Amino acid sequence: MPHPLDSFFAPASIALIGASRDHEKIPGRLLSMLRKNDYPGKIYPVNPNYADIDGLACCKSIAEIGAPVDLAVIVIPARAVLPALEQCAAAGVKNAVIISSGFAEEGGDSAAMQDAIAALARRTGMRISGPNAEGFFSQMQRVAATFSPAADVKPGVVPLVATQKRIGIVAQSGGIGFAYYHRAKAIGIAVSYVVSAGNESDLGAGEFLDYLVQDASTDVILLFIEGIRDVDKFLAAARRAAETRKPVIVTKVGRSGAGQRAAASHTASMAGWSTAYDAVFAKYGFIVSNDLDEALTIAALLASNPLPKGDRVAVVTVSGGAGIWAADAVALQGLQVPELSEMIQAGIRTLMPSYGTARNPIDVTAQGVTSGGLQKSVDLLTASDEVDAVLVVLSLSSEVRKPFDEAELTPALAAQKKPVAFYSYTVPSDFARRELAKSGVVVLSGLTHVGVAMRRLVDYAMFNLPKPADETRLPVRDLSAHLKQQALSEADSKALLRGAGIGLPDEVLVTEKAGLDEAVARVGFPLVMKIQSPDIAHKSEVDGVRVNITTKGEVFLAFEALLNNARRQRPAAVIQGVLVGPMAKKGVEIIVGTMTDKTFGPMVMVGLGGVTTELFRDVIYRPAPVGAEEAGAMLAGLKAAPLLNGFRGGARADVTGLAQLVADISVLAARHAAEIAEIELNPVLVHPEGQGVTIVDALVVGRT
């Protein structure tokens, strides 16, 4: 089935608006790049100042072409761009890439010009990339619609290509996108597409991601983003990538910005600048990398290997020290480097001199290269069920010696039984890279990156897209009566939650001392008393809580003390009264909450709860809603998970009941996203298995 962007990435004809004869300037380089990369379609230079450019007839305007144009590449002054686009639309041009800068990135009137471009795209249906874009490069269709020198073709230079699989690159920074491409070319990773999104007046990173997800020539996707504008398209593409098991490696920059969030709850205040992005990435199995070379290393392994079936790694080396170092690198990532069975060791010992070692890491010594021991050890390990991946560590600086015989290595790797990574502790020569590329090997140079990449492959292999939330469990109810104000007290918040169908203990709000006897009779001892005010979010800060009360005398004394404390420390606060409730049974303290992200909307969070919540910050976020299964996976990912699973002989907690509560709260937040900004349940006491959970305190914040 054709994709709407097929004519964008594979245009049969291109008009270069602002074309130039000067190859040193961007307008001239655009034409030069197209021709050097053997673009097979028709090229129409457009510039009223020339009759011809480089042997091609030059038109004064797009209308003068008089033939269908699939793509217009525009590189003219910013003020002239909108009129040129109007002419393109009138001429039936399907797509445009605006290289020109001077739009939203400058603000003021320039931003208004970009808004006009977006409006034109909506009105005419023409798809527009940019402005302020570096264009794109399609290796498959030989379309170099860019001025990036990374797409240049040097006469007589044979490209280094080691992988049959290809990576596609989407970047909101053109410079970084083509840097990925430049580095990928240098180590032999085949590339399908590179596209820079620019200012995203129309086409955004989400839609470009969607194209690469469905593209049969793209096997791995590299994504570099600052922020997502076309959120719905991005999320749909992310889900499709997860469903089709197409790996997406993502780098999100802008993590260090001092984001100002006016948050009433711990849930929101603990959320960092990129929390929601990381939550979305985790939900859809994206592989997060914050380093350019690391991302390329992960891509190299994915493009040249199958996924591992487990986390056991064999290290094979020609240098004992390098082998130990490599074993450390993978072990530091939590991977196993197991000692091999005596049977495997015996087989390997026959392939090396007596001073080698077969235990793992396996040191076949330098002699193992010339004797064939290195190759045969790799053969043994790829066939063995004792390890799930192999890391080959060697020196590839020689310009003449080959460590492997292509005829032997190629079939061993082509069988794709398990990942085999190749790391050179010396700077690899071009000769070595090209020789090993014949067998499908990408030579890697950063040991820490190799360790991380092998870890990421294991993690990605274990990822499964979580089942969607069951939204029918929670009844659909009108909660507007509970949300007459933005700030709600605990009593107000719990009333809202009860109204939504969330189970809570029976509690009584007492406004006058005369109501205490009835409250005690209803709740029973032991009980808890808490000051109630929409202006006091955290009651412990005003000494507003009394616990484990067992006599009526204590009840009356506590009532007076709580009111006096609140009035003294927060004289301006509106005091509603004192909430009287049962003392909860003991349990593991957990925090469950939601917050609203400006890009992705409601997020649900779970973490280690109680008064130390912000101290330890052991929390995990996901986009809401989540199902009980996904909530359970969130709980399993906490550092505090052992506390729920019977730590040091303790009873196993009711994880099933807690997961269901997390799921229900997430559904509530997603369903009422227009009305509810934040929810916080802290602490939730998780009782022993089968005994459920108790929501001790609750805070709901309405939308302004």
More confident residue, 505 or 109: 505
Q: How confident is the model at residue 258 (pLDDT cuts 50, 70, 90)?
A: very low
pLDDT at 372: 81
The yes-or-no verdict on residue 274 having pLDDT over 90 is no
Q: How confident is the model at residue 106 (pLDDT cuts 50, 70, 90)?
A: confident
Q: How far, in Å, CA of 581 to CA of 545, rounded?
A: 11
Cβ(233)–Cβ(255) under 8 Å?
no
Cβ(641)–Cβ(652) under 8 Å?
no
Amino acid, single-letter form, for residue 8: F
Average pLDDT over residues 569-573: 95
Lowest mean pLDDT among 61-75, 249-263, 466-480, 512-526: 249-263
Q: How confident is the model at residue 257 (pLDDT cuts 50, 70, 90)?
A: low
Token pair, residue 704, equals 């302004």
Q: How confident is the model at residue 131 (pLDDT cuts 50, 70, 90)?
A: very high
pLDDT at 109: 82
Cβ(183)–Cβ(211) under 8 Å?
no
Q: Give ranges for CATH 3.40.50.261 in the chain.
A: 6-294, 308-462
Is the Cα torsion angle 292, 293, 294, 298 positive or negative in sign? Answer: positive
Q: How far is CA 316 from CA 131, 284, 319, 366, in A?
A: 50, 34, 9, 12
Average pLDDT over residues 141-169: 95
Q: Which CATH class is domain 588-702?
A: alpha beta
Average pLDDT over residues 301-316: 98
The yes-or-no verdict on residue 471 having pLDDT over 60 is yes
Q: Which CATH class is domain 6-294?
A: alpha beta
Over residues 644-684, the pLDDT tens digits come to 998 887 889 999 999 999 999 999 999 999 999 999 999 99
The yes-or-no verdict on residue 611 having pLDDT over 80 is no
Eight-state DSSP code of residue 306: P
Radius of gyration of the chain from Cα atoms? 31
Mean of per-residue pLDDT scores for the chain = 93
Average pLDDT over residues 487-500: 95
Cβ(397)–Cβ(319) under 8 Å?
no
- H or E segment and range at residue 614: helix 613-616
Q: How far is CA 290 from CA 249, 409, 460, in A?
A: 10, 33, 17
The yes-or-no verdict on residue 24 having pLDDT over 60 is yes
Report the candidate in 91, 290, 298, 95 with the shortest Cα–Cα distance to residue 208.
Answer: 95
Q: How confident is the model at residue 609 (pLDDT cuts 50, 70, 90)?
A: confident
CATH architecture of 507-582: 2-Layer Sandwich (3.30)
More confident residue, 370 or 143: 143
Pairing of strands 190-196, 166-171: parallel
Q: How far is CA 248 from CA 133, 189, 226, 289, 346, in A?
A: 22, 16, 16, 10, 41
Which fold, 308-462? Rossmann fold (3.40.50)
Q: How confident is the model at residue 269 (pLDDT cuts 50, 70, 90)?
A: low
Q: Give ranges for CATH 3.30.1490.20 in the chain.
A: 507-582
The predicted model scores a pTM of 0.93
In the numeric block, the tokens 């793509």 are attached to 71
pLDDT at 519: 97
Q: Give ranges for CATH 3.30.470.20 in the chain.
A: 588-702
Average pLDDT over residues 216-223: 98
Cβ(624)–Cβ(670) under 8 Å?
yes
Q: How confident is the model at residue 265 (pLDDT cuts 50, 70, 90)?
A: low
pLDDT at 263: 43
Residue 459 CA, distance from chain mean position? 13
pLDDT at 76: 96
Over residues 41-53, the pLDDT tens digits come to 999 999 999 999 9
Q: How far, in Å, CA of 24 to CA of 232, rounded?
A: 40
Q: How many CA atoms lie within 13 A of 608 on its CB side?
A: 15
pLDDT at 484: 82
pLDDT at 110: 86
